[in-house]
Each structure stands twice: as structure tokens, then as C-alpha cells.
Amino acid sequence: MPIEIPLRCETASTWGSWQTLLRLYDDSTGAPQGGLSLKHSATTSEDRILTYIDGFDSKISGGVRKGHVVLLAGTPGTMKSSIALNLLYNNVRKNDLSALYVSIEESKESLLEGMDRLGFGDIDENKFFIVDIGKLRLEHTDADIGRDWFKILKEYLRKKVENEGVELIVIDSLTAVYSLTHIQSPRQELFHFFGFLKRLGVTTFLISETQQNGSAFGPFHEDYLADGTILLKFVDVGESDVQLRIRAVKMRHSKIHHGYLTLIFRDGQFMATPPIAE
């Protein structure tokens, strides 16, 4: 049962009530109840979604818990989209899951080209759906495109889950959804959007594009609402080298290793390894 509570906590002075509300949210959505039931399929651990980053799944109790909403946050170029595509691609191929990748900024053609370059070819278009903003616009000609993108997204996602049996969703990116429209009460909107995703019973990865000097996870405390947060960042190594690091910041219902791991992509495979002392 969704809880409908008006949020009036956009300032620091009302931070306490925001915290209280988040606790209510946790209580109401911590375990999927009602809505669509979770489907189980042959993953190595039946209640987990593998990220297919070698060396990382074991650091988050074997993967992301099915039905959870996870933030994938990092500055531009930290391979968030590639990690998300890798995760969907492998889960469709190896675990026979149905997946949906919603791209707000990049066209489907460009994404497919990028996937090909990463070595993710031969996509089963009946199990791996990629939709870009252009297509979403075409499918919602009667909707108020300028104003309510969360509504359009919700309608689209619900349809895909009910009609096509989608079990895994990536939205690339949440940040780009914000930029499409002026959202009057972002926290309220997000609170309901996260609740909607949880009730949908799918596992969702929300990409958050962060700024070098801004909040590490997103502008509206998205990390409080999410069940999990995975952070990507570049670190300087010595005078001239830069390495990519990955870290599980938070993962509900999982025992996690909190430290940073070095992330590399080689021969079509992501690998996370403990950083070598610099």
C-alpha cells in the first residue's frame, strides 16, 4: 500500500522530517509486498542479480538483491553506461532474464554501436529492449512531454513489465530525466518514483551523473531512497596515470566490503581487483 505523505522538507531546517519520511519509506518498501511478484530464474544465487564484474559480486554477498533499486553513480566517463549494459547483456544471455535499458540522452543506434565495440554483440531483441528518448516521445504523443516525465516513464515501465515480462531495468540517466523538465518537489517526486519501482517488483539500476565537486551520489539524496549505491570514480596514480575505482557504498540485505577496488575492462570482461599500493 503506497503511503501518500506530502513532503515539505526542501530546506536544512526540515531535514529531520525528511529523515523520518525516509524511515517510513524503508518500512513500507523494505520487503516487496503485493504488486507484481518477483520472478526467480537460474542465477547462481536465486535471489541475486549478478553484476558480472569479476571480483565485485563476491564483495556484495553475491550480487544485488532482486527487487532492489540501486544507484550507479559517478562522474562522466567512469563507465557507468558500459557497466549497466554489461550487466543486462550477461543476465539476458546467461540467466534468460528480460531486460530494458532506457536511454535518455543517447540514441539506440549509438548504444548498439557502443555495445558492439565492447564486444556485446548478437542481442536477442525479444529479451533485451533498448528504448531511447525519441521512441518514448513517439509513443507518448498525447502526453505532456514538457512537464511530467516521471509519469511517462512510470507508464512505460509498467507496460513493459506487464506485457513483456521485463525483470531488469536500467535508466540512463536519472540526472537526464531531471534535466528534461522542471520538477517542483524533487524529493516528493523521487520518493514516489522509487516506491513505484519497488512495487513493480523488478530490479532497477538508476544511473546518476555526478559532478566533480558536487554531491557524490546525486542532487536530491537519492542514496537515502535507494536500496544500494555503487560509486565509480577516477583516481590519480602517480604523475601521469589515472585509474578507475569502484566501491559498494550501501547494499541493503547484503554484507559488503566497503573499500575501493580497481576496475578494469579487458577482452569483454569487467574485473575488480584490490588496488595495488601506490
Please report how close the Cβ of residue 167 comes to Mg ion at its closest, in angstroms: 22
Binding mask 64-83 for Mg ion (x = CB under 5 A): -----------------x--
Q: How far is CA 119 from the centre of its chain?
A: 22
Considering only 6, 76, 146, 238, the residue that binds ligand ADP (CB under 6 A) is 76
- In the complex, residue closest to Mg ion by CB: 81
146 binds, among Mg ion, ligand ADP, none (CB under 5 to 8 A by kind): none
Question: Which residues in the 237-266 window bind ligand ADP by CB under 6 A?
Answer: 265
Using alpha carbons, select from 58, 264, 256, 118 the residue that is nearest to residue 272. Answer: 264
**Prior bond to 173 cis, omega within 30?**
yes
| Contact range with ligand ADP by CB under 6 A, out of 2-10, 55-63, 71-79, 129-137 | 71-79
DSSP characters over 253-266: TS----S-EEEEEE
- Report which residue type is found at 240: S
- Nearest to 210, CA basis, from 89, 111, 74, 110: 74
Q: Nearest CA to 70 among 96, 43, 88?
A: 88
Which of 71, 79, 226, 246 is close enough to bind ligand ADP by CB under 6 A?
Answer: 79
Burial of 117 (0-12, 13-18, 19+ CB in 10 A): exposed
Complex with ligand ADP: residue 161 or 171, whichever CB lies closer: 171
Q: Which is nearer to ligand ADP, 62 or 114 (CB)?
A: 114
**Residue choice 29, 43, 51, 78 for contact with ligand ADP (CB under 6 A):** 78
- Positions in the binding site for Mg ion (CB under 5 A): 81
